[in-house]
Amino acid sequence: MKKIAVFNPNAGKGLNQKSLTLLIPAFNQAGIDVWISRAKHDIENRIREWCDNHPLEEVCFIVSGGDGTMHEAVNGAAGHKHTVFASIPAGSGNDFARHFGGLKLDMNLLQHLSRLHSEDQDLITYSMIKERVAVSNMGAGFDAEVAYSANRSKIKKLLNKLSAGKLVYVVFLIQQLLVFKPYSLTIIADRREKQFKRVWFTTISNQPYYGGGMKIAPNADTKDGLLDVTVVHGLSRIKFLLVFLSVFKGSHVTFKEVYQVRSARVNCIADRDVRVHADGEDNGLLPAGQALSAQIAADKIRVAGQLALDE
Ligand SMILES: Nc1ncnc2c1ncn2[C@@H]1O[C@H](COP(=O)(O)OP(=O)(O)OP(=O)(O)O)[C@@H](O)[C@H]1O
């Protein structure tokens, strides 16, 4: 199988140049191509181009970065039937590797790669402006605003360098807590329509974790063919903070203001423009009255990641 290692130098603390300088010759000797992205969307575009040019070839993309990098990689390969993904978690959140497993960037990497076991997993497909896929989760509202502000902020890079990248989310969580305006929502899931008022956020999860280890959908299963939908609604600002903090342990599900439903597809319609993220990447504003449609993709994603994330 063809192997291509893809590195995002912008993820997390940035590229560990020392490890890379040592590893590139070993990668090349083992026949593994090494790509280092030059800009946002570069990984997605290069993977798409490779897949378009090699529709029948089996390939393993070994992706070094965080959840945004994995989001790009998976979208680049969407529709290519012979792709396997492995992750080298190097971002701030790393929820993909937290659930699916990941590899360490060290001299044992090549040995581990030869022993990896891959499995088919569910994938989310969604449409806003165009059809895309998300691998871990997507959502609308407060969390999308926090991710949007954090990813654009200059302090994220600085905090990442100080190994405190997650702090940036705390800063913007507090800021959004003060300014965010809850919205009204209609969701159609599991063949039922439900209405909610004062919605803080709606998350559509494939796997349990999001936001860097928060257990938003504790029982989500990436092999059950179902999405786990969470709606957090009807809370004052102070109580919302309490519920939000309880997400780290997954105990938010005991609050009556947290609604959860499982469904193979879901439509969400808000009464005002609401910001949407997919795998923590900004997807712009969902216009008022327009449906965000998400469902389990017909094609599975193949993931090689049996080694535990050592954090
Ligand atoms: N060469 C590059 N220069 C600038 N941005 C890039 C480059 N390559 C990829 N990107 C973008 O970098 C962003 C950050 O990557 P990623 O989300 O993987 O890291 P992170 O934010 O540190 O981790 P996490 O999403 O797990 O919190 C992504 O939006 C990706 O599209």
Residue ranges, CATH 3.40.50.10330, the chain: 2-116
Pocket test for ligand 1, best of 15, 43, 67, 69 (most atoms within 8 A of CB): 69
pLDDT, averaged across the chain: 92
Long-range contacts formed by 104-107: CB under 8 A, 24+ apart: 104/310, 105/16, 105/19, 105/20, 105/23, 105/64, 106/19, 107/22, 107/23, 107/26
Find out whether the beta carbon of 91 lies less than 6 Å from any atom of ligand 1. Answer: yes
- The interface predicted TM-score (ipTM) is 0.96
Task: Please give the average per-residue pLDDT across 198-217, as a whole number.
Answer: 95
Q: How far is the CA of 303 from the centre of ligand 1 (A)?
A: 20
Among all chains, which residue has been given the structure tokens 């879901």? 266
pLDDT of residue 13: 76
pLDDT in tens, 37-95: 999 999 999 999 999 999 999 999 999 999 999 999 999 999 999 999 999 999 888 99
Q: Is pLDDT above 90 for 288? A: yes
Q: Closest ligand 1 atom, CA of 279? A: 25
Task: Please give the average per-residue pLDDT across 174-192, as a whole number.
Answer: 95
Find out whether the beta carbon of 161 lies less than 6 Å from any atom of ligand 1. Answer: no
Beta bridge partners of 59: 2, 83
Task: Please give the average per-residue pLDDT across 218-234, as a whole number.
Answer: 97
Find out whether the beta carbon of 72 lies less than 6 Å from any atom of ligand 1. Answer: yes
What CATH number belongs to 2-116? 3.40.50.10330
Contacts of 48 (CB under 8 A, 6+ apart): 75, 76, 77
Confidence of residue 123 (pLDDT cuts 50, 70, 90): very high
Residue 245 has a CB neighbour count (10 Å cut-off) of 13
Q: Classify 131-296 by CATH class.
A: mainly beta
pLDDT of residue 311: 40
Find out whether the beta carbon of 226 lies less than 6 Å from any atom of ligand 1. Answer: no
Residue ranges, CATH 2.60.200.40, the chain: 131-296
